[in-house]
Every structure is written in structure tokens, then in C-alpha cells.
A and B are shown apart, each in its own frame.
Chain A
Amino acid sequence: MPIMTPGAFAYPGTSLDFRTGSWRTARPVYQVRPSPCHAACPAGENPRDYLARMAEANPRAAWETLVAFNPLPAITGRVCEHPCESACNRGQFDAAIAIHNVERWLGDEAVRAAWDYPLPAPAAEAPEVAVVGAGPAGLSCAYHLLRLGIRATVIDRLPEAGGTLRTALPCYRLPREVLDAEIGRLLAAGIPFVGRTRLGQHVSLAELSQDYAAVFLAPGRQQPRRWDVDGRTPKDLHPALTLLQDWVALDAVPAIHSALIVGGGNSAIDMARVLARTGAEVHLVTHDAMPGPGVSRDVAMKAAPRDIDQAIEEGVTIHVEHGIRRLILRGEKVVGVELVRLKKLLRGDGRYEVVPFEGTETVLHVDQVIPAVGQVVDADGMGSLLSENGFFAAGEDMRLPGRDAIYAGGDARERAWGTVSGAVGDGRKAALALHAHLSGRRYETGPAPRPMAIADLNLNYFERAPRAEETLLPPGLRQGCAEIAAGLSPEKVGAEAQRCFSCGDCLACDNCWTLCPDQAVLKSRAPLAEGARYHIDYDYCKGCGLCAHECPAGYIVMEAESRPAGRQQGP
């Protein structure tokens, strides 16, 4: 009913009686959409979310957001090749966020401040899972099981937990104190660890299957892959893995005048760097290309670009897209190799073929050839579970086909990521699948959603800002276990977090609230029930789409209005 006033004037704000929302043909909806960093992270982390907490100057909440996916941030912050940063939309604007350094700082800060892992104490009647292998996959699986209320015991053939992190990662990349502190804290949070227990020798798989509700196998790849050139190998062949393990454990490196490392992965680069530090002349040959913009991951060296750069700084000569055609032997001892240029070319069937080019052969004189061409699984105690090619044929849910309660992941899996963060992700997926299995549900994974592209953002609202770079130890000072990368100061970590575009999630920038011509966006001082700061009042929203167009982060999407256009009730 219209309100009649003596002077025929209207009371303030009475237009609220008129619901302009009925004009709408499309409605804006706040929708959290996947960020590219999240989609790219093999561990399943969502850097956008912890960068947001960090930008709000709440490091503890940031760390808790982070360890909801990855319990080892101080470690992965140092050793992961950070595909999140390659995917970061900011990389196409000025420079990617230094996510690895935020992650590293949060991990270190948690150790320093002794923040407890957010883990509930498992119920007394909770089922228990046996985890074989205390590397990143096994530890991650046990941790995530515990988060889900399932107890887990980790066994390992070595006396200490850590797996490949401990046996083969050089301490200048991952200092022992960082490794010991983070893994020690994780185990202390409630994960029983039984060392010096070798599967097939001290305990059998059948016993584990009988004593535990399920088994997760994460033995890693501990055997060097066989290597030869046309069936020939030098007499004094030492695989890189063995040499690296000796160096890590005993600080012992054989005296070599000149060496050629074969391979393009992290072990090859680590081996090359360790030898170069002894003053040896070190070459590295790989079929792969140098990673860089426009180079497909399929043909690029598997080692992290950062480590490749540091190896070159330290004097390693890298021959990319070269192969060994022939070993030049004097008796049984190698004195050189014949190299040939080659390329991995994409064939019609979608596979890459290595094509050597005739007439590009050169001779390189070296007195050692050290293969670092990958590792295979040590089959002891679980040989019957491995597929023909020597790995576990685990599916997306990490379950072994045909086995009900045996799961496997980490490097020992076929098509493994071959990285620490990949192993952490495998452990988490296995825990989720085990949790579903033990509670009698199906483990469902939907199709991977399309991550936000830079075109989905409104870049008008962002300013260029330089990326915070950490200082690196100069090559001349890189000795022993001195850590090369210094990390960032807390101030710089905060600044990096502020640079995040927040792709697909609310930046709380007020743009929608400020720019709505119809006052249909309401702002709340405290977070609303849905966790958001803004609420669209559909009684008045006319559906113009301005908020969605001007949202810097692409957090607002327009959806077609499903109801038929209602007749507006007149006054």
C-alpha cells in the first residue's frame, strides 16, 4: 500500500518496497574456482589459500592451511621444483609469486615456534594401517590417515625416517637439521616409526596384511637402473645413486679427474655438482632439452631449473640434446665417449622418438662415465606385486589392481612424479582412498576442473611489483653442507603474499560492493556464515554483470536465471 503523506512527499528509502530483482535474466554468484597453482601442485596444496592467510598477517593459519595437504613444507619449500610457480598467472603479468619461499618460511617458522600439527587423537577402536617406507609418500600417508582418524605405523629398512630425502638429497639443498626437525616433529605428533625393518626379511607382507587393516607400500626406487651402451659397460662403473648415497652418508667421493654424468634428472645434477666441488672436470649429457619457456615438460630435463642453473654456475658443462653413441675403451677402462646431437621429436602417434643426427658426432675425453638414468624398485618382499616393468601399477586411488587392501604410491608407482611433492600427494590420495575403503565408501575423484586463466582476471586492478628474490651463496663459497639458498625475510614473505592475484577466490577488495549501481551487494564486518565478506541481495540485483566483469580475481560468475521472468508487482 502506498503511504500517503500530507505534502505528498515520500519517506526515505521507500524504494526498497520495489524489488528490482525480478528484472534479472542472469545472476552473479560468488564461486571459488580452482587456482592454477593449486591445479599444478603434485602435493595438492592450494598456495592461494595460504598466501591469503599470510597476507592477512596470520602465519599460523597459513601454516595450518598448508599442512592440511603437505606436512613437510620446510622440506618441499627447499627441494620442490615448484610447478605452482610455473603455473602462476602472475608470471604472465610480471613475475610469479615466490611460493616456494613462502612455503619454506612457514615450515621453518612452525619448527621455530613449535606449532602443533592439527591432528586429532585417534579413537581406541580406530583401524590401523601399516605403511612401508618412511619417505615422503609413507610419512604423508600416515599423517593424512591420522588426520582422518585412522592410526598408522610406519616401518622402514633404515634406522631413521626420511627415505630418499635422507639417503640421496645433498645437504646443501636440504640441510640435515631442517630434515631432522620437520620429520621429528611429524613423527612426534603421533606416528609410530619402526626402523631397521626390511620387508621380506624381518616381516612379511602376509604378516602385515594379517595384523593391519590395510597396507600402503611406498618403498621408493632404491636400485639404480641398469645402463650400458650397446651391451658394453666400463669395468669400474659406479651408478650416481650409489656414489651420492656414499657421499651423503660418509662424505666420501672418489678422486676423479674428469667425469661424464649421463642423465637429466635431479640425481644427475646433484652428482655433477658434488663432483665439481672436488675440482673434477664434470660434463653432463642428456637427451632432454634445457627447460625454459615454450619447452614442453615432456622433452625438458627433469631436474629443477634452479638446480640446473646453479650446477652451471659451479662449473658443470651440460650437453643437452646429446646422446652417447659409443664408449671409447682402452681395455676395460673408459677413456672417452662419442657424443651425437639428437632431438626428441613428436611422432604421429603422440609419442616422442629420439632421433640422432648423422654427421654431428664429437669425441669427449673423460676417465669416468657415471650413469644417473633413473632407479627401479627394490623388489625384496613384494616381488609378486610389481608389474612387468618393475613398478606398482597403482591406479588414481593408489590401490593395487586386484588387491583389496594393498595400496602403493610414491616413486615406486608407475608414471610416478619422481619428486618429493609428488610423493606427498600420492600419500595423501592413498590416505583418502584408504579412509573411504575402511569406512565402506567408494573413493570418488571428479575430473580435474579447468584452472583460472589470466584472461579470467581483471588486470586493471593490479600493479606491477617485483618478485622478492632470495640471496644465493656465490659459487666460490659453496662448500660442504652450507645451504645455498638463503630464503626470505618475514617482511619479504609478507610482501610476496600481498602480490597474489588470488585467482578464483575473494580478495576482499570491496570492488563488487563499491561498484554495484543498485546497492545489491552488501558487505559484512564479520565473515558471513558462508565465510564470505559480501552478500548479493537478489531482491534488488538486476543482473547487469558489472560486479563479475570488474572482479579482479574472477570470483564472481554469471549464471543464467532459471526461473521464468516474474511479473513485477506494482505499488
Chain B
Amino acid sequence: MTTETLHDLRGDQPRFQGLEAGHRACQGCGQALAARLTLEAAGPDVVLANATGCLEVFTTAWPDSAWRVPWLHSLFANAASVAAGMEAALKMQGRDVKVIALAGDGGTFDIGFQALSGMLERGHNVLFVCYDNEGYMNTGVQRSSSTPHAAATTTSPAGVARIGKRHLKKDILSIVAAHHIPYAATASVAYPTDLRKKVRRAIQVDGPSFLQVHAPCPLGWGHGGELSIEVARLAVQTGLFPLIELERDVLIGAMPIRRVRGIKDYLRPQGRFRHLFADDPRAREELAHLQALADHNIEVYGLRGDRPDTLDSEGADTVHRGGRHFA
């Protein structure tokens, strides 16, 4: 196929491609996929405020931009504040354009946390999307408050004194939902249809809405780039990353898990959990701990499906000839 036809074909894709090729994300990047899927559903009439992080760095290597929508980066901490300002300005101009703030888990759980809280409290009409890759991957895989318990990072190494991160993954969704906002949900790149449905829902909401998207990082998690979807899917199917929706801090939806997998299926492909498979009593304890956390999620959110459902963990990604499923 000639360069011209390829160029024409790229310009004629039957979807909105808000994030273009040529960005510098690693092979198999979950975040790059999550960002494109988000914009596909959010459509062209959006403006973006991006916190510092992988997404900001790999999409905008000077003087290029991979974005096809207005995009602004200011600081690590202030994506929510910038988005709030953009929303206020657009409102003053009488323009009906949705503002989306994008941040990684560092820009959401830690560094951007107070700005996020303030934006939610002031009730801005902003969708805040957190691409949760569970660590500071851009700067060399440091732990964040989103890094799961027992995962190894460069600042929570598995060694003699400790066996990966000592603390638990912060329950950011509950904290965000406690702001009594109209819509807060989790999604995963392994379930694109579910993810896009939640983006559309969050865009329709008048007022602040929040999405936490589980986005594997092959570099930081230590798995092959080809396994990003597989790993994300297993996070859902083990119960470690429940896909839930909250309205005004009330649980209104959860993706049922048809076949609950043991957590080892999820942990084993990932280098950051390799130490948990050593012949070590502490490793066995941590495995039991992680299993208990998964079981707890399943119980608290009522995730165990009682019968096959087209929207459960096995049915939601079913494909059909002709691609109607992803239409």
C-alpha cells in the first residue's frame, strides 16, 4: 500500500482518533490505549488539561503533538485547577465544550490530590480521568499511593527487610465519591466497550465526574507489551480491580465476575510480583493477603455473578463477526 493511500486511510478512520500515532509511549502502553479510547468516546468537542506524567511526556515531544484536540499542560499538581479555570472561562463565553482533565495516578492520588478535591468540591463541569498505572513510571518506577500492596518498585524494593510495598493501594474512588459528585467509576483497558460507555456517561453528567482507568505499564509492571490487555483483564477477573460505578457516593453498578480467577493468575506474569513466588514464608503470607483483598472486594461490591450475563467479566468482551461489538 502506498504512502498516499495509507495517509488517506488514516484520515478516513470510522472513529474519532483524538490521539494520533507517532507518540513515544513504550510498546504495549496501556495508558496510550486508554487515552485514545477515552477520546474516541468523548468526541472532538472537548479540551484537555494534562498533568505532568507519562501521557504528557510521550504525546508532546517538542515540537510535535500527538493530540487532535486542544490540549494544555501546566504543572504536575494542578491539572484539576487548570481544568476548572478552563471550564469557568468557557462558561463565561457561553460555549458548551466539555473539559477533561487527564492525570496519572501520581497526579491524582498524590501530587494532584488537593487540586482534584478542590475542583470536585466547587462542582466544576469537568471530567477527571485518572490513568492508573500504579506508580511513577515516567521517572523510573517509584511507588505511589496507588501502587498495590506487596508490589516491588525502585522505592519499595523486594529485599531482606521488606517484601515490596508495605502499604495498601489507596481507595481513591471512595475518597472522590465522598465529595458527593454525580458520577465516579472505574474502568479497564481490557473492556473497551465498558470503558467507552462510562466515558459517555461521565461526559453527559452536568458537574464533576471521575474515571479511574486501570492501564498496565509493561515497563513498570514487568510484563511483555503483548500482555497488557491480558494482565488488565486478569486484574478484573480476580477481583483485584473491581469495575464499579458510583452516583452520589452510592454504588449503582458493578461488572459481575462470571469465573473468579485466583490472584496468582494475575500476579505471575508480572515482574513486580515475582518475589511473591519465592520459597519464603513472608511471600506466602503476602499472597494470602492479596487474595484476601480480592475476596474482600468481591464481597463488598457483590461481584460474583450468579448466572452468565452478556455484560459480565466473560461476556463484556465477546466479539462478533463484523465488529458490531465495538461499534
Which A positions have Cβ atoms within 8 angstroms of B? 2-4, 8-20, 23, 52, 55-56, 460-464, 498, 502, 507-511, 513-520, 522-525, 528-529, 535, 537, 539-540, 542-546, 548-550, 552, 571
Contact = CB atoms under 8 A, between A and B. Distances in A.
B21 A509 contact: no
Contact of A12 (B14, B63, B65, B326): B65
B22 A20 contact: yes
Q: Is the interface of A mostly helix, strand, loop or mixed?
A: loop
Nearest to A28: B226
Interface string B60-75: 1111111111000000
Q: Which 3 pairs, one residue from A and one from B, show the smallest C-beta to C-beta distance?
A: A545-B226, A510-B323, A15-B22
Interface string B1-32: 10000100110111001011111111111101
A520 B27 CA distance: 12
Given A17-B22, A20-B21, A545-B224, A519 B27 contact: no
A546 B229 contact: yes
B28 A545 contact: yes
Contacts of B68: 12-13
Given A509-B322, A522-B13, 16 more contacts: A9-B65, A10-B60, A11-B65, A12-B69, A13-B20, A13-B66, A18-B64, A460-B314, A511-B326, A517-B28, A517-B33, A518-B32, A519-B10, A537-B10, A544-B228, A548-B226
B14 A523 contact: yes
B207 interface: no
Contacts of B10: 519, 522, 537
Interface in B181-232: 189, 192, 218, 224-230
B29 A517 contact: yes
Contact of B319 (A17, A23, A509, A520): A509
A546 B28 contact: yes
Interface string B291-327: 0000000000000000010100011011111110111
Nearest to A500: B321
B59 interface: yes
B272 interface: no
A16 B21 contact: yes
B233 interface: yes
Contacts of A571: 63-64
A519 B321 contact: no
B318 A16 contact: no
Nearest to B189: A515
Contact of B6 (A515, A518, A537): A537
Among B32, B63, B67, find the residue whose CB has the most chain A CB atoms closer than 10 A: B63
Contacts of B17: 519
A14 B36 CA distance: 16
B63 A518 contact: no
11 contacts: A13-B20, A14-B63, A15-B20, A15-B61, A19-B22, A461-B319, A498-B320, A519-B19, A519-B20, A544-B27, A546-B28
Contacts of A543: 27
Contacts of A544: 27-28, 218, 225-226, 228
A14 B71 CA distance: 13
Contacts of B64: 10, 14-15, 17-18, 571
B36 A517 contact: yes
